[in-house]
């Protein structure tokens, strides 16, 4: 008995069905991959939180130094200081960080990490700001215990942006929230948070590590928000002393 092959119409129907299935499944697969990378990044930060609290026990509860201190630490990034306190190797790169500068041979051009330390948690070095033992913003919040009950509300580290306002690669291991004056995407140069943090890397959210050691995926406006008037800060989880004034800005 002679077998009948597929007709052209039948082949077109099969192709159409396969195309429809791909159109339905590919976005779901892409979303699943994005969710997996987000989870991996969050796990990176949770490990940093565990290492941070192990470090507290041996450092008089003080935070690690950053590049802002002129290299006063073993390596180029604060993560180098925390590395020995982690049971597993700390990951310096977010899976979604596509910067070509990661691993650059020239240290001056190398993006050392996808994660930045909040400059508010930078210890006050001896001789800085003479006559003001508590420091002036943003430095001086030397230890977690000095933050008191607020420590659970202060972002210690976050995912830093890949480029600044002028398109230059961001290579430091810290960020300056004391310079922010607008909501994300509404300012320019240093006063806009989008030139400090990568706030939409994971499905319109980013990962944040708090000084009490827990990590969370949040929308940026849950951590920093300027009121509709454009004058008053309503939320600021980056400054341990917030609010400092009715306006919320430093004078």
pLDDT digits (tens, 9 = 90+) for 171-222: 889 998 888 889 998 887 778 999 999 999 898 899 999 999 999 999 999 9
pLDDT for res 133: 45
Residues 6+ apart with CB under 8 A from 123: 62, 63, 65, 69, 139, 142, 143
Cα separation, 153 vs 171, in Å, equals 26
214, 170 Cβ separation under 8 angstroms = no
pLDDT for res 52: 93
What average pLDDT does the structure give for the chain? 80
Cα separation, 14 vs 11, in Å, equals 5
pLDDT for res 132: 47
pLDDT for res 69: 73
Tokens (6 digits) for 193: 């948070």
pLDDT for res 107: 73
pLDDT in tens, 138-151: 555 667 776 766 77
Cα separation, 249 vs 251, in Å, equals 6
Tokens (6 digits) for 13: 């129907």
Tokens (6 digits) for 135: 């420091």
Question: Length of the chain in residues, anyone?
Answer: 251
Strands (E), 74-214: 115-118, 155-159, 174-175, 206-210
Letter string b/e over residues 201-228, b meaning 16 or more CB atoms within 10 A of that residue's CB: bbeebbbbbbbbbebbbbebeebbbbee
Cα separation, 39 vs 95, in Å, equals 10
pLDDT for res 244: 61
pLDDT for res 101: 83
Instruction: Please state the φ and ψ torsions of residue 235, each to the nearest 5 degrees.
Output: -135, 135
Name the residue with tokens 């942006």: 161
Please give the DSSP secondary-structure letter assigned to residue 195.
G
pLDDT < 50: residue spans in the chain: 132-135, 245-251
137, 239 Cβ separation under 8 angstroms = yes
């Amino acid at each position: 008995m002679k077998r009948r092959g597929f007709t052209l119409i039948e082949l077109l129907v099969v192709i159409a069905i396969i195309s429809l299935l791909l159109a339905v499944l590919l976005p779901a697969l892409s979303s699943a991959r994005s969710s997996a990378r987000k989870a991996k990044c969050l796990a990176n930060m949770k490990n940093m939180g565990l290492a941070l609290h192990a470090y507290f026990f041996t450092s008089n509860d003080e935070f690690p130094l950053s590049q802002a201190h002129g290299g006063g630490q073993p390596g180029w990034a604060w993560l180098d200081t925390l590395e020995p306190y982690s049971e597993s190797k700390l990951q310096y790169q977010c899976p979604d960080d596509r910067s070509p500068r990661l691993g650059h041979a020239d240290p001056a051009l190398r993006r050392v990490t996808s994660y930045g330390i909040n400059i508010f948690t930078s210890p006050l070095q001896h001789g800085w700001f003479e006559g003001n033992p508590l420091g002036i913003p943003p430095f001086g919040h030397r230890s977690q215990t000095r933050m008191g009950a607020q420590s659970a509300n202060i972002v210690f580290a976050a995912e830093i942006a890949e480029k600044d306002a002028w398109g230059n690669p961001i290579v430091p291991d810290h960020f300056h929230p004391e310079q922010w004056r607008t909501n994300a995407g509404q300012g320019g140069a240093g006063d806009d948070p989008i030139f400090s943090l990568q706030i939409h890397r994971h499905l319109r959210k980013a990962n944040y590590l708090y000084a009490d050691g827990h990590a969370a995926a949040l929308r940026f406006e849950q951590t920093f928000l300027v009121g509709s008037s454009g004058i008053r800060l309503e939320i600021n989880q980056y400054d341990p002393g917030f609010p400092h004034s009715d306006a919320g800005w430093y004078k």
